[in-house]
Structure 1
Amino acid sequence: MRHIKLSEHIFKKGKFITPFNNLPMVKEFEDEKSWAYGRMPEYLWIGLILNHYGRDEGLRKSYNIISLLHKLAPNLYTARLSEILKLDTDVQEALFEYVVSIGAKEVLNPLTVFLTVSKAPTFAKYFYCPNVSASERCETLVFTMSRIADHQSNDATDIRFVVLYFSVLSGKLHLHQSQIDLLRSYPVCDHADESMRMIRPTVRATEMTILTFEKVDSLFLKEFWRCVSEMTDCNIFVTKFPSENREFTAYMERLHELFGYLSDLFVTTAPLDEKMVVLLGLATYSYKRLKEIYELRAFNSIAGRSCVRVMIEDYIMMKYLVKNEQSHDNIWREYQLYGIGLYKLVLSRYREFKASGESHFDEKYIELLVNEFKSEEFIDMDTKYFDKQNIRLKAESVNEKELYGLYYDYDSSFEHGLWGAIRESSLLKCDNPAHKYHCVPDVEDEIRLKTVLPDCIMIMNKTVSFLNEIYGIPQQMLNGVINFELKPIDNQD
């Protein structure tokens, strides 16, 4: 299946709109009409038959059952189980008696987990098997559901074919001759046949037209999902990427030596150079963030992604400041005062509202920083982006659009606690289809994210190379950093 390209989306008012959502008459099915939630439970009885007997025999038995169903209830136009259970008792008994006679009592027995005597007395009378435990019945249901949960799978398409065929028998659905010819060939063709590549989509698309006249039994669906979810256990699986176990102490040592050289260069040659202090300040901040996750071995963590985001922003800001240096009287002073102004804003709020209890915000120390070179009474507080451009526009202006689009946006989700990041890092997946594949909080910290080490090295090398363009780092020292070779990760934990 080809995914829709970003360029094919429609960008409107800050939002990328998928082409499907821009079509006036097209919208996604609500849950009760979707396959996984709304239709699969209704047709699970067909899935059990196909699963037990295999495709060929299962389709034959299903055909015989729906043919009898149409004869017994000619006004019924859907094979939904909820509608079958609403038929008169004598009709149900005639149908169920036939199903039992062809040896399918044990096949439909798992459904008695939720179709009990109190809820579906006639069904329970014919299909309940006292020698089959509730756990065994649930296990069969879950296994079958797992096979048919994907609406485009071959197993699900077989069910949808039976459903479609019954609607055609009922006379409610009228098809073109070409569609009828395809339907007739469906049960005699193997899924591996080339012709099925056209037949299967036709079956699925035509089956969905039944939704225009079908009735949805919300209570049946709610009871089904409540029952099977309560009676089955979670089946949690954990995503664990390889642990970052590579040795790169040599890289950090060479990086430390390089930053030591730049620091000495600043102190001895240009201690009052505002441009140099800003650029080295930004670069050193990135170095310290990298050093923190190196010492904590946090490359597989949420904090590691925060580090990547900060390093990218620092690098883009360095390039942006240098590029726009000539268009400002003193962009370096402006940048410092912008940041200090935001510190002053927090300090002012703290003075007015205070923090209850102990806080990591130290009022006295922050006050010293705010007033370090200029009285705070003369410092404005600008709450807009620095130089009135957000980081995306800054990235584009310094030709780092790809770095921003591929990395920064992704890692910003972790920084802001957006749902994508929460889902990836903090929720375990339940693989039980009876639980609708829900998620469970990762309280025990079992998830291991993919390492950010290669990205950190890539961004740090960009930062170092940029500093080299301005200050000329000794070649041997520079090569020791940017030519560091990171070995392939060891997949064994």
Structure 2
Amino acid sequence: MSKGSKKKRKKQRKLGDGQKDSRFSSLNTSTIDQHRRIGSKLVPPLARIPKMMPLSWADDHMPEMLWAVLLAGVLEREHYLDVLRKVAVRCRSWFLRDDDGSSAEQKPDPEVGLNFSIIVDQTKLAEVSDEEFHDVITILLAHPLGYAALRPILLIDDLPGIARWKREISVDPTKDDWNTLSRAIAKVLDHQSETSTDIRWFKVIVAIISGRIIFPMSLAEMGEEFRLFPDKGDMRVVRPSIRSMEMTLRRRDPARWIGQFWAQALRDTRCIDPSEGEEYTFTETGIDPRTLYAARDRVIDRFRRNIRAERVDARLDSAFGLVLYAFSVLEEIGMHRIHTRIVGAVALRSLVEVCITLRYLAKTDSSEMWQSYRVYGAGQAKLAFLKMQQTHGDLPNFLDESMLYEIANEDRWQEFLDIDVGHWANSNLRKLAIDCGAKDIYDKYYDWSSGFIHGNWAAIRDTNFVNCHNALHRLHRIPRVVHRTLNSVEPDAIGLVNEMIAVVENLFPSDEKIPRIASKKTMQREPESHQKTAG
């Protein structure tokens, strides 16, 4: 993270409203500013590296180390690390260079990178001689739990050298061995997990002790930390170094059997649905209805006290209309218990737009803008009305033709009313937010809530899919029995509506303050605070 980004975050914390920072704020992720705009896309730094070929540890490279994964899934850490050390020492001779320093290893292709094969993986174990294979598996089976740990590997139809494994283990697998395999793989799906790092260390140490990786004197200490892992050095430094180095010690193209293995795992084991048995639940509102309706009554009262003799007062109607509309949306969020549902997020998105719109109109506070906002809306009513006249067959049930006609002709005859197919301010919501100082509101709420309106994949994934809990299915997504209960939008919605009340108070000042909307929790705390003050 850049120093500028850190300073910016510190400044935001100082100027914040007391809410907690994101629990992910300490992650080493690129900031928005570090993305580069290319066309309509914001591209992160790593994705801009030329000829980059990202490959997945879990999908493509972890299966090659399946024998080690199974050991780590069954044995205690101290025991499986001891076994891995013994295997590394035994296999060292497989990869030693000739006396003249020559090596049969291919040189890196600048187009695709190095194809590293100095690995004791499933593919290598299928290539070595029967005697060499026997030497390795003897080490693995010497542990009392060795047979139980390795037996699940016999379930894999397309495992390289499967006949050898069956001959050496000489025990038939059981259906329960799928569960053993699943539990073992669950520990290594995360490429940064302790177990994954241990197995990746094994790949690195084999290359080191066989002379394929040589540390210069300046990095001799790092070499010792790798050799004595995990008992030497600061693991906060050593573990990332191991993972970084292991990424350079991989076969270029995943073996064909790996895809066949994942296909068999999906075919032979069932999904585990964590949402099974769930039912639809509706959480009661946290909005205090008394404060909501009291605020609405006061807003209406102030509207009436500001009515003038003009037939059309775009400023009065629009300012108070936006606030009243926000009240209605907030009422539906709470009283209809949709604040944890998809429609609640859609409603929050609506509140974001009306709040920014009011802030912008109040900031400019020009008769032209107030009128433009009003005329644009009337033009939209006219457009919808005219489209209905061209519709053949059943009209949409939600449309009220009479109301459309009335709105379109309310201020002037619709034959003199233009239809603006652009934006009423010749702008967009983001620019409006910047111009009126509401960019913080836009950044907090707009992007994610908009996804629920547009039905983009992220909103669909969030609400209607869940990760299968069978690790052999690699956390693939399956439909939820019922859609997920979301975080309540009520606290955010209340804040936006109260913000709008403050704006309308400034536009139409009075000695009498409009009460703010509160949550039930706030109302419950107030008497306690009064008692403390009185004491």
TM-score between the two structures when normalised by the length of structure 1: 0.84
Give the Å deviation of 1:184.
Answer: 4.4
Structure 1 residues 3, 99: CA separation in 2 closer, same or farther (over 3 Å shift)? closer
- Residue 112 of structure 1 corresponds to which residue in structure 2? 154
**Percent identity at matched positions?**
22
Determine whether 1:405 maps to 2:443: yes
- Residue 124 of structure 1 corresponds to which residue in structure 2? 166
SS of equivalent residue, structure 2 residue 419: coil
Determine whether 1:204 maps to 2:243: yes
Output the CA distance in 2 between the equivalents of 1:472 and 1:102.
Answer: 82
SS of equivalent residue, structure 2 residue 478: strand
SS of equivalent residue, structure 2 residue 437: coil
Structure 1 residues 269, 82: CA separation in 2 closer, same or farther (over 3 Å shift)? farther
Output the CA distance in 1 between the equivalents of 2:354 and 2:287.
Answer: 26
SS of equivalent residue, structure 2 residue 418: coil
Structure 1, unpaired ranges of 5+:
none
Determine whether 1:262 maps to 2:302: yes
Of 405, 415, 424, which aligns to 1:386? 424
- Residue 452 of structure 1 corresponds to which residue in structure 2? 489
Output the CA distance in 2 between the equivalents of 1:380 and 1:128.
Answer: 85
- Residue 36 of structure 2 corresponds to which residue in structure 1? 10
CA contact (8 A) 1:70 1:170 kept: yes
Read off the aligned partner of 2:34 and give its amino acid letter: E
- Residue 467 of structure 1 corresponds to which residue in structure 2? 504
Render the CA deviation track for 1:186-241: whole Å, top value 9, x for unaligned.
Answer: 353446x6533332222222211113xx2434421211211223333434446999
Render the CA deviation track for 1:68-122: whole Å, top value 9, x for unaligned.
Answer: 4455687862222134234455654554455445552322111122247998222
Which aligned pairs between 1:240-279 and structure 2 lie closer than 5 A? 243=283, 245-246=285-286, 248-265=288-305, 272-279=312-319
Structure 2, unpaired ranges of 5+:
1-26, 97-103, 105-116, 525-535
Of 120, 137, 156, which aligns to 1:79? 120
SS of equivalent residue, structure 2 residue 291: helix
CA contact (8 A) 2:356 2:433 kept: yes
Structure 1 residues 485, 475: CA separation in 2 closer, same or farther (over 3 Å shift)? farther
Give the Å deviation of 1:277.
Answer: 1.1
Of 453, 457, 464, which aligns to 1:426? 464
- Residue 234 of structure 2 corresponds to which residue in structure 1? 195
- Residue 481 of structure 1 corresponds to which residue in structure 2? 516
The answer to which of 267-276 and 140-149 deviates more is 267-276
Of 45, 49, 52, which aligns to 1:19? 45
Output the CA distance in 2 between the equivalents of 1:220 and 1:489.
Answer: 63
The answer to which of 257-266 and 237-246 deviates more is 237-246
Output the CA distance in 2 between the equivalents of 1:118 and 1:80.
Answer: 10
Determine whether 1:320 maps to 2:357: no
Output the CA distance in 1 between the equivalents of 2:445 and 2:89.
Answer: 58
- Residue 149 of structure 1 corresponds to which residue in structure 2? 189
CA contact (8 A) 1:117 1:124 kept: no
Output the CA distance in 2 between the equivalents of 1:386 and 1:373.
Answer: 17
Give the Å deviation of 1:489.
Answer: 12
Give the Å deviation of 1:268.
Answer: 7.8
CA contact (8 A) 1:115 1:123 kept: no
Give the Å deviation of 1:163.
Answer: 1.2
Give the Å deviation of 1:179.
Answer: 5.5
- Residue 52 of structure 1 corresponds to which residue in structure 2? 74
Read off the aligned partner of 1:48 and give its amino acid letter: L
SS of equivalent residue, structure 1 residue 386: coil
The answer to which of 43-52 and 368-377 deviates more is 368-377
Structure 1 residues 489, 319: CA separation in 2 closer, same or farther (over 3 Å shift)? closer
Determine whether 1:133 maps to 2:174: yes
- Residue 60 of structure 2 corresponds to which residue in structure 1? 38
Of 299, 303, 322, which aligns to 2:343? 303
Of 379, 392, 401, which aligns to 1:341? 379
CA contact (8 A) 1:105 1:126 kept: no
Output the CA distance in 2 between the equivalents of 1:77 and 1:121.
Answer: 23
Give the Å deviation of 1:399.
Answer: 0.9
Of 163, 170, 174, which aligns to 2:203? 163
TM-score between the two structures when normalised by the length of structure 2: 0.78
Give the Å deviation of 1:384.
Answer: 1.6
- The count of residues paired between Structure 1 and Structure 2 equals 475
Structure 1 residues 357, 342: CA separation in 2 closer, same or farther (over 3 Å shift)? closer
Output the CA distance in 2 between the equivalents of 1:19 and 1:266.
Answer: 55
Read off the aligned partner of 1:481 and give its amino acid letter: R
Output the CA distance in 1 between the equivalents of 2:385 and 2:330.
Answer: 28
Structure 1 residues 86, 345: CA separation in 2 closer, same or farther (over 3 Å shift)? farther
Q: When you count helix as a share of all residues, which structure comes out higher? A: 1
Read off the aligned partner of 1:323 and give its amino acid letter: K
- Residue 109 of structure 2 corresponds to which residue in structure 1? none
Output the CA distance in 1 between the equivalents of 2:282 and 2:134.
Answer: 58
Output the CA distance in 2 between the equivalents of 1:242 and 1:351.
Answer: 41
The answer to which of 353-362 and 461-470 deviates more is 353-362
- Residue 474 of structure 2 corresponds to which residue in structure 1? 436
